[in-house]
Structure 1
Amino acid sequence: MSERPIHILMIDDDEDDFFLVTELLHDISPGQYILEWASTYQKGIAALETNTHDVFLVDYRLGPNTGIDILHRIQQMPSQLPVIMLTGKGDYNIDQEAMQAGAYDYLVKGEITADLLERSIRYAVDEYNHRRTIEDSEKKYYGIFEKAHDLIILADGDRNIIDANPAALRTLHYNREQILQLHLRDLFISKEQSDNFLGDIYNNGSPGSREYEFKTAENKKLVVLINAVTLDEAAQIFLCVIQDITDKKREEQEKQHQEKFVITGRIARVIAHEVRNPLTNILLAVSQFKEEEDVVANEDALLYTDIIERNCTRINQLITELLHSTRMIELHMDNYGINELVEKALLLAQDRLQLNEIKVERNLVSPDIMVSADEEKVVIAFLNIIINAIEAMTPGKGILTITSIRSQDKAKLMIGDNGMGIPEDKLARLFDPFYTSKAKGTGLGLTSTQNILLNHKGTIHVDSETGKGSVFTIALPITQQA
């Protein structure tokens, strides 16, 4: 027992019962219990409010009131201390009613012994402390569960979702009722990934932290890290802690694009220097060769020299285009609204849009978001993406979606299409110079677009799904207003 005496309040209108209980407690252990008496319901309620007792002995019959009324009052208090109900012999229904109302135990008057009373009090105090420990743990868990920035999902033995914290609901764009209808596999984009994850849980119980691709309620892709553990082996409950690393992966990808762009620019300058000198010598030699009398009279010789000159000129043009698409460019900056700039690009693409019967859906933020930009160059960058989107869509069935939003200190523009999409293996090379899937393309349009945006301290990335279309997302710094 605790060194501190246990304070007991007895609410009973029979003084004889109070003296009996006093004697029994004294027999158990003098000084271990301190018993106080409230002889009426009203005095009992007043004593409850002092919050100085550890356990209550409550008689069922208290004049016009009952011990059940006391239980109901205690249930409304912040600290719901244990109650032992004192009932008459054979009052089984009352005993059941008392337990259902929250009593920890009941004792039948006339059958109370010192051992029985001591055991009942000890049980009530221990049970109360145990419940408080559980409640404290639940409060801590609830605080972590509710306030965690990571996504937390609980699943049962069949891997059905049985709970999800607010962060999971916000990130995955489900309400509580919707997510509780899902199986864990419904969160994965890839069936192969979901099968691997669920298999690891079945076989290992704790598969460790791995990277997967999730989808939101709107089928938006999220890159996540998942840690899964068995929370309750008996009940077969699994805890999944999920970290959304989509933005982190995107930033890494953008950094890689910038590094690749810088390297490409250096290579382009080296190529230009090393190739142009031999080309110039070839062109000079061909020019002198063509002035020879026997060459002028030889049609075959002129045909071949023309081919040499034409291809040397073509090589020189490609080198020039490569240099233009990868070098730092001079900008003439001013403040423009991002909606204003994309509308100008749409106007330049109007003929292509009409010819291909492309429907344009605008979801533009209001008021417009101001960015510092070289109007001509940014409009060209937007136009390149719009033209690519038009060419990716089936005429008469295409839908071009233009969306602008404010995201912290960035203005974001999303240009989406419902075209053929871009295969996963081609996405990584999309901005590489001379990489193109078009029969007559040079493969420098998106390289040039990326160059313009990087020079504006902006970024560009693409999300695509084969057969469903692509979305190019452009981010530009918002103008800092004075």
Structure 2
Amino acid sequence: MQTMKDTRPHILMIDDDEDDFFLVSSLLQDVAPNQYHIEWCATYEAGIAAIEQKQHVLYLVDYRLGRHTGLDILRHFQHIGYDAPVIMLTGKGDYAIDNEAMMAGAADYLVKGEIGAQELERAIRYGISEHKHLQTIAENERKYFGIFEKSHDLIILADCDKNIIEVNPTAQKKLQHTREELLRMNLKDLFMQETEALQFLLDICEDNAIVQREYAFRNQSGQKLDVLVNANKLDEKLGTFLCVAEDITEKKREEQEKQHQEKFVITGRIARVIAHEVRNPLTNILLAVGQFKQEIPSEQEDAQLYLDIIERNCTRINQLVTEMLQSTRMMELHLHEMDANEMVHNALALAEDRLQLNEMRLEESYMEEDINLLVDAEKMSIALLNLFINAIEAMTPGQGVLRVNTMHENGKVYIRIGDNGIGIPEENKAKLFDPFFTNKTKGTGLGLTSTQNIILNHKGAITVESSPGEGTLFTIILPVV
């Protein structure tokens, strides 16, 4: 016949005095009959062996166990990483021992000779209950700490003054700051724009919650991070704030790349239609002008002059149509593997004389590893040179600083070209790569269109960040071989 399992709490008493075990058992039976199952170990060694089995919910341990003490038992619990409530049994007046036992991890202590039945049962019941409660708290802490540590989002805690008091590893990685550096910062220091930061702090104080709002953060390198923020007050009394930010930089970049690709295809289609519709009448005009020039008398100088003007401008229009077609059509590439840093160095060498002539400073920062790209070296050199020249022309001679750096991340190479020039107004950013859009008096407006075409043909992308008076930063993103 199968016996029923004993579901009562199992308690182990480690004491070298059998009379004490008998007394404790009797007291428990009197106040809580058959509610606990208590077992006994008479020696330190037997107690250690029983503890190793981890089968008891609470341990009653005598302080004096021959040449060992109850503190040795407590140390063994710590040594094997076993967390269980231990009540220390001490002699009368051993207050120093009592204090030492509590410091070593004992849940409680009872004085032998003064133990009452109710006091004993209450200490055991509270010890078991408190331990379960602490286990639940610890489990919740582990669970939420795991979420905090492993979250792919930036998690930032701030105090009532908006000073940062805790950050998770993702925030440290994305913002490129150590935890210690971030703990010396304020929430407003994370923002790219000061006005946006001040508005955020104002909104979070008034609304008590910010849900799914987009902001621009800045990492230690000064690069922009597009983030989707959820923020709210965590504790009304303490005034602490929780800020969870999803990094959507890559997502926005991919959307922008898709828009550029679609716009490029549409622009190319329009360019081909325009070329067809314009070139045919232009050819007829040029033929007619050529025939007319042969037939008019040479003494009619005014007629010759006007015909030359017509012919010259027709040729110019034809040339512009050709350039527009070339800057917007898919091109044939002669691809070869090339080191990314070497590619940038070679293109930069072509702009060196312009930098020297305009007395401008060059600041370079390159990735240490050798990363190969599959590129048409000649065409990529043209694209990079266009950006270098644009940056130089946007800066004041004698005051300009051209910043060039490369970085490798997630299978892509990032080439950043920045200047401290006049910047680009917000309304012009969307038109920057459009054919014939330019602010230069003698420019055709096809340089950046051609640059974008070259990069798109390399399955790459180009982005721009700029503010009037604060300079411009172009970022080229190319896939690694």
TM-score normalised by the chain length of structure 2: 0.88
- Which among 131, 135, 147 is matched to residue 132 of structure 1? 135
CA offsets, 1:314-338, max 9 Å, x none?
3333222211211222333344433
Match of 1:215? 218
The answer (yes or no) to whether the contact 2:154–2:244 under 8 Å persists in 1 is yes
- Which among 237, 243, 246 is matched to residue 246 of structure 2? 243
Query: Which deviates more, 107-116 or 383-392?
Result: 107-116
The answer (yes or no) to whether the contact 1:12–1:37 under 8 Å persists in 2 is yes
Per the TM alignment, residue 55 of structure 1 is displaced from its structure 2 partner at its CA by 0.7
The answer (yes or no) to whether the contact 1:290–1:296 under 8 Å persists in 2 is no
Q: Answer yes or no: is 1:17 the counterpart of 2:20.
A: yes
- Identity value in percent: 60
Match of 1:402? 404
Match of 1:111? 114
The answer (yes or no) to whether the contact 1:268–1:322 under 8 Å persists in 2 is yes
Q: What is the one-letter code of the residue matched to 2:222?
A: N
Match of 1:99? 102
Match of 1:381? 383
Match of 1:70? 73
CA offsets, 1:358-416, max 9 Å, x none?
34444445665433333332222222112112222333343434333444444443333
Counting matched residue pairs gives 477
Distance in 2 separating the partners of 1:365 and 1:88: 69
Per the TM alignment, residue 177 of structure 1 is displaced from its structure 2 partner at its CA by 1.0
Structure 1 residues 145, 456: CA separation in 2 closer, same or farther (over 3 Å shift)? same
Distance in 1 separating the partners of 2:181 and 2:325: 53
Q: Answer yes or no: is 1:122 the counterpart of 2:138.
A: no
Q: What is the one-letter code of the residue matched to 1:100?
A: M
Structure 1 residues 77, 14: CA separation in 2 closer, same or farther (over 3 Å shift)? same
CA offsets, 1:171-212, max 9 Å, x none?
111111111111222111223332343344334433212211
Q: Answer yes or no: is 1:189 the counterpart of 2:204.
A: no
Match of 2:433? 431
- Which among 7, 19, 22 is matched to residue 4 of structure 1? 7
Match of 2:204? 201
Match of 2:333? 331
Q: What is the one-letter code of the residue matched to 1:186?
A: D
Match of 1:263? 266
Query: Which deviates more, 220-229 or 455-464?
Result: 455-464
Q: Answer yes or no: is 1:147 the counterpart of 2:150.
A: yes
Query: Which deviates more, 307-316 or 380-389?
Result: 307-316
Match of 2:419? 417
5+ residue gaps, structure 2, are: none
Distance in 1 separating the partners of 2:222 and 2:344: 26
Structure 1 residues 276, 295: CA separation in 2 closer, same or farther (over 3 Å shift)? farther
The answer (yes or no) to whether the contact 1:153–1:163 under 8 Å persists in 2 is yes
The answer (yes or no) to whether the contact 1:422–1:466 under 8 Å persists in 2 is yes
Query: Which deviates more, 206-215 or 327-336?
Result: 327-336
Distance in 1 separating the partners of 2:296 and 2:108: 124
Q: What is the one-letter code of the residue matched to 2:395?
A: M
Structure 1 residues 478, 358: CA separation in 2 closer, same or farther (over 3 Å shift)? same
- Which among 343, 353, 356 is matched to residue 355 of structure 2? 353
Q: What is the one-letter code of the residue matched to 2:471?
A: G
CA offsets, 1:24-52, max 9 Å, x none?
11123333212222334444334322322
- Which among 464, 467, 471 is matched to residue 466 of structure 2? 464
Matches for 1:469-480 after TM superposition, within 5 Å: 469-479=471-481
Residue 225 of structure 1 aligns to a residue in which SS? Answer: strand
The answer (yes or no) to whether the contact 2:32–2:121 under 8 Å persists in 1 is no
The answer (yes or no) to whether the contact 2:25–2:38 under 8 Å persists in 1 is yes
Q: What is the one-letter code of the residue matched to 1:420?
A: I
Match of 2:54? 51
Distance in 1 separating the partners of 2:411 and 2:192: 30
Distance in 2 separating the partners of 1:317 and 1:97: 94
- Which among 447, 450, 465 is matched to residue 448 of structure 1? 450
Query: Which deviates more, 241-250 or 230-239?
Result: 230-239
Residue 55 of structure 2 aligns to a residue in which SS? Answer: coil
Distance in 2 separating the partners of 1:452 and 1:242: 35
Distance in 2 separating the partners of 1:425 and 1:163: 39
Distance in 2 separating the partners of 1:269 and 1:170: 47
- Which among 156, 161, 175 is matched to residue 158 of structure 1? 161
Per the TM alignment, residue 127 of structure 1 is displaced from its structure 2 partner at its CA by 0.5
Q: Answer yes or no: is 1:84 the counterpart of 2:94.
A: no
Residue 381 of structure 2 aligns to a residue in which SS? Answer: helix
Per the TM alignment, residue 222 of structure 1 is displaced from its structure 2 partner at its CA by 0.5
TM-score normalised by the chain length of structure 1: 0.88
Query: Which deviates more, 221-230 or 168-177?
Result: 221-230
Q: What is the one-letter code of the residue matched to 1:275?
A: V
Residue 424 of structure 2 aligns to a residue in which SS? Answer: coil
The answer (yes or no) to whether the contact 1:411–1:477 under 8 Å persists in 2 is yes
The answer (yes or no) to whether the contact 1:289–1:295 under 8 Å persists in 2 is no
Structure 1 residues 10, 399: CA separation in 2 closer, same or farther (over 3 Å shift)? same
Q: Answer yes or no: is 1:320 the counterpart of 2:341.
A: no
Distance in 1 separating the partners of 2:55 and 2:369: 61
Distance in 1 separating the partners of 2:122 and 2:420: 74
Distance in 1 separating the partners of 2:194 and 2:360: 34
Per the TM alignment, residue 282 of structure 1 is displaced from its structure 2 partner at its CA by 4.6
